Chain A
Amino acid sequence: MEPAPQTIGKSNFFHTLAFRMGASFGTLILFFTSAFATTAYFTFNNYVTTSAKTQAEATSDTMAANYDDYFSSVISVSNFVASEVYNLIDPAASSASLSSDFDSIIAVKTDLSSVAFFSYSGDECLVNDSSFSFDGHNVSATDWFLNAVRNPTLNIFTPSENNSFKLSKVLPYAKGSSMGVLMVQVSSLASSVYKVDLGGGGHAVIYDKDYKLIYDSEDSLLAEEEVSVLKDTVIGYQVRDLGDHTYLISQYTISNTRWRLAIFQNFDAVGQTLSNFVITTVIIAVAFFFVSMVVLSFLSNSVTKPLKRLRNSMQVVEDKGYTSYEPVSVSGTLETRDLARNYNEMMLRIKSLTDDVIQEQNAQRLAELHALQNQINPHFLYNTLDSIVFLIDDGKKKEASEMVVALSRFFRISISKGRNIIPLEDEIEHVRNYLLIQKLRYKESFEYSFDVDPQLHDLRVIKLILQPLVENAIQHGLLNKEGVGRIAISGHMNGDILVLTVRDNGFGIMPDKIADIYSSFKDKNVYNGVGLKNVYQRLKVYFGEKADVKIDSVLDEGTTITLFIPVKERKINEE
């Protein structure tokens, strides 16, 4: 398989910085928020449930103790009567005083409605309080009587209608020689026992071992569902949902009775508190998560937006080239701002360099073309060759030989193995050969001189910068001039700048023409113009802004062309 071509595009969202930051920080935040929320919930839940349960259990315990005390107080009546009747020898004789004792009991314990002591056969009421009237009916068939006789050591509690109940017990009397049965009628539980606020739906229930309801503080019935819940725990505590409410259900035995007590305490507040807590926690966690993600996306955007702009700009440059480059806006963090600024600078630099290089290449190509055209100009070559033939015919073998050598050197340096940068020495040599050839051709019609410090010979300059100037001087300044034409070529350093001058004593240049030449320097069209413009533009490309060309001319006196070359600032190294 060929590897897929690499693109900077949007193809893989999962590899983007935004996604990775979002995913990693999001996961981290999600993990920590949920870990925190969960821990908080369990701690809070445990604390609230435990403390609320402990408190509720304590309330139930107190209430159960009240019920215990209450039944004990009823049993204490039975015990009191037991000790009273034990020493009773003749019930008939003592009936009156005992009856008043019974009256006192009822007067003190207002929840009791009657106290009566029956013979063991149940057909006779031996003693009773004054409000009780025995209708003469045999009581021996009643549950309370039969149960008491069946369990002679127990205080028997028997429920009767309207939450009331009876206590019955076999008691020995006449010093233990006879037995009777005591009956205490309890009309209702003393209000103090159950006056505890058990919350909405809360109630206390007394039931027997078969879970048959005996008493309910709220006069409700023991629902089947409640019965099965009670059967689950038997004794102890449990928290259960019943109907619309949650209850703490506490189950007890009631001392000295065969009955049991269940207290249903409303426990909704705990669930409410917990669910409030859960809701609050979830809201905070979610809000925190979203705020974090917003902050994160803002943060990641501040990094990725500028990067994306850079990327898009690069893509455009890649697709369409440097010329299509437009500056990228500088924004985001300090780093991305720096990046964008540097990118812009870099791109501008690249663009200008590229432009320069293109321009320079074009200029050079043209210069070379011009030079080659000049050099292999058929007239230049024919004339030179004709001159050589004349010299040979005239027997001037030495001059002929010099000219052939000069022509050969001229072409060698022109080509310079394709290099653009050459030592100053070679450039001067090139001009010297040119001048030699021209001078031989034009027969002493001009003279020339060189004044270049040999110490400067090793400086690197671009080639073909002097020859066009000298050619101009001969063509436009000296040919057809009366008298001896002179060309002086000099070179010296002015600070860091190499100053080369070509001076002639020719016709000079009209000021209008000089202005035209200067303005042609700024014309980027390289195919338009003269050799001087070409030299100027190449110097600018290679040596920068400080490079310059200056034209000084006085009509009929001569022209001086000066080249200023900051040799140390050469920008392009292509030796």
Chain B
Amino acid sequence: MKNKGLVLSLLSVLSVCSCANAQDTIGLFIYDSNDTFMASFANSVEEGFDAMGVTYLFQAAGRSQDTQNQQVISLLDQGSSLSVINLVDRLAASAIIEKADKSGTSLIFINREPLQSDLNGHPNDFYVGSDSEQAGDLQASLAEQLFVKGEMDAKTCPYDKNGDGVINLVIIKGEEGHQDTELRTARCTKRLIEDGYSINVLTTATGNWTTEGGYQAMETIAKDYYDVSDPDKQEIELIYCNNDDMAAGAVNYLKDKGVLINAAYSDQPIQIIGFDGTQTGRRLVEDGYIYGTVLNDAVTQGAHVCALAQKILAGEDTSDVEQIDRVSGKTITKSTL
């Protein structure tokens, strides 16, 4: 029995070894397959992996951190030298890092940023994602292209519908409490204030990152602040959306109510600024329903992930690589499409 056990364990060790050498499976875990942006991000990483000729396992967690934990553990148990993880809950990072350290597996977190304190002291773990603060700034800069400072001061800006020199805006947020929601929301208003604008945030509503959520959020907001048939109740001049899917929902609602028309952005009574620069967002810009969106650059981020992955898999020294890699976004308007 003892010998048998030894042989079995040797066999399993051998199989793990051969697996790690010949067929190292890399994990690619995203929080939800229904998220348009994450789907395109994952797609970009997959293309990179295919080009590198590595074997990978792609799994989505359906917005459950427990599910994701199981998926990650199961791959770690098989022995994997690298996993790319889009966390459901970014606070779960410390446990996953601790677990991965036991098997010497490197981790690249994407899109949802672990706390700096969780990454500290774990040089094999990295983050690649967007720069949320910069993204907020870019959203603000899009607003500033519409609401030109001089015109606002002179109260002659065509988008300042009531001509009071104050931007009346509403914000459709992602999940309440979500890091990106908070940072983007806080930054896009703060920046305007810093740049000397007078703004009035009429209200905020959450749309849970989805098109339907955006539609419902817009409906809630419009109830108090916009009525196409009541000129006294047409306060909204600008809508910030935390992502393009929700912007699409808001556009759908406003089209249904006849607020938005099939025309150039400059002819619309309300200006909308989205985020992510997904296919959906680009079409809205193209069609003139929204003024612009901020590109959360999935392709560039995907390329960064793959470059880092290649380094890790080749066993190169990664000590000089910055643990946190925030990729800058870009503004997209009709003129830059």
Query: Chain A residues in contact with chain B, CB under 8 A?
Result: 61, 64-65, 68, 75, 78-79, 82-83, 86-87, 151-155, 169, 172, 175-177, 209, 233-236, 251-253, 255-258, 260
Contacts and interface: CB of A to CB of B under 8 A. Distances in A.
Nearest to A260: B95
A256 B89 contact: yes
A455 to B, nearest CB: 91
A233 B193 CA distance: 49
A389 B65 CA distance: 150
10 contacts: A83-B176, A83-B206, A153-B183, A175-B200, A209-B95, A209-B118, A236-B73, A251-B95, A252-B66, A253-B89
A262 to B, nearest CB: 11
B185 A256 contact: no
A405 to B, nearest CB: 101
Contact of B177 (A82, A86, A252): A82
Interface in B190-232: 190, 193, 199-201, 203-204, 206
Given A155-B177, A234-B102, A252-B69, 16 more contacts: A75-B177, A79-B176, A152-B182, A153-B182, A169-B177, A175-B200, A176-B185, A176-B190, A209-B94, A209-B118, A234-B95, A235-B99, A236-B70, A253-B66, A255-B92, A256-B89
A477 to B, nearest CB: 103
A258 B98 CA distance: 13
A257 B89 CA distance: 9
A235 B96 contact: yes
Contacts of B65: 68, 253, 255
Contact of A253 (B95, B176, B193, B206): B95
B66 A68 contact: yes
Contacts of A86: 201, 203-204
A172 B186 contact: yes
Given A155-B177, A176-B189, A253 B102 contact: no
Given A176-B189, A235-B96, A153 B179 contact: yes
B115 interface: yes
- Of residues A154, A172, A176, A177, which shows the largest number of chain B Cβ atoms within 10 Å of its Cβ? A176
B28 interface: no
Given A75-B177, A83-B176, A153-B183, A176 B201 contact: yes
Contacts of B96: 235, 253
Nearest to A38: B1
Nearest to A257: B91
B88 interface: yes
Nearest to A256: B89
A36 to B, nearest CB: 16
A255 B89 contact: yes
Contacts of A176: 185-186, 189-190, 201
A172 B190 CA distance: 11
Nearest to B69: A235
Nearest to B96: A235
A61 B95 contact: no
Contacts of B183: 153
Nearest to B94: A209
- Of residues A87, A152, A236, which shows the largest number of chain B Cβ atoms within 10 Å of its Cβ? A236
Contacts of A236: 69-70, 73, 99
A235 B176 contact: no
A78 B177 contact: yes
A235 B73 contact: yes
Interface string B60-73: 00000110011001
Contacts of B190: 176
* Chain B, interface residues (CB within 8 Å), range: 20 to 34
Contacts of A153: 177, 179, 182-183
Contacts of A169: 177
Contacts, number: 83
Contacts of A209: 94-95, 98, 118
Q: Which 5 A-B pairs have the closest CB atoms?
A: A79-B176, A175-B201, A253-B92, A234-B99, A153-B182
Nearest to B189: A176
Contacts of B177: 75, 78-79, 82, 153, 155, 169, 256
Nearest to A251: B95
Interface in B156-197: 176-177, 179, 182-183, 185-186, 189-190, 193
Contacts of A151: 115
Contacts of B91: 154, 253, 255-258
Given A209-B95, A234-B102, A260-B95, A83 B89 contact: no
A318 to B, nearest CB: 52
Contacts of B92: 253, 255
A122 B66 CA distance: 36
Nearest to B65: A255
Interface string B66-83: 100110010000000000
Contacts of A78: 177
Contacts of A152: 182
Contacts of B204: 83, 86-87
Nearest to B116: A151
Contacts of A65: 66
B66 A61 contact: yes
- Of residues A68, A78, A152, A209, which shows the largest number of chain B Cβ atoms within 10 Å of its Cβ? A209
A120 to B, nearest CB: 14
Contacts of A75: 177
A64 B67 CA distance: 12
B298 to A, nearest CB: 22
A79 B175 CA distance: 9
Nearest to B204: A86
A235 B189 contact: no
A79 B178 CA distance: 10
Contacts of A233: 99
A75 B190 CA distance: 25
B43 to A, nearest CB: 26
B94 A258 contact: yes
Contacts of A83: 176, 204, 206
A53 to B, nearest CB: 14
Contacts of B89: 253, 255-256
Interface string B112-154: 0001001000000000000000000000000000000000000
A554 to B, nearest CB: 104
Contacts of A260: 95
Contacts of B199: 175
- Of residues B65, B185, B193, which shows the largest number of chain A Cβ atoms within 10 Å of its Cβ? B65
Contacts of B69: 235-236, 252-253
Interface in B25-77: 65-66, 69-70, 73
A152 B204 CA distance: 19
Nearest to B171: A176
A79 B208 CA distance: 13
Contacts of A64: 66
Nearest to A157: B91
Nearest to B132: A153
A177 B193 contact: yes
Interface in B224-275: none
- Of residues A65, A79, A83, A153, which shows the largest number of chain B Cβ atoms within 10 Å of its Cβ? A153
Contacts of A79: 176-177
Contacts of A255: 65, 88-89, 91-92
A64 B70 CA distance: 13
B185 to A, nearest CB: 7
- Of residues A78, A234, A256, A257, which shows the largest number of chain B Cβ atoms within 10 Å of its Cβ? A234
A545 B69 CA distance: 107
A235 B179 contact: no
Contacts of A258: 91, 94, 115
A256 to B, nearest CB: 6
A401 B200 CA distance: 182
A234 B88 CA distance: 18
A492 B206 CA distance: 144
Contacts of A235: 69, 73, 95-96, 99
B98 to A, nearest CB: 5
A169 B95 CA distance: 22
A235 B189 CA distance: 40
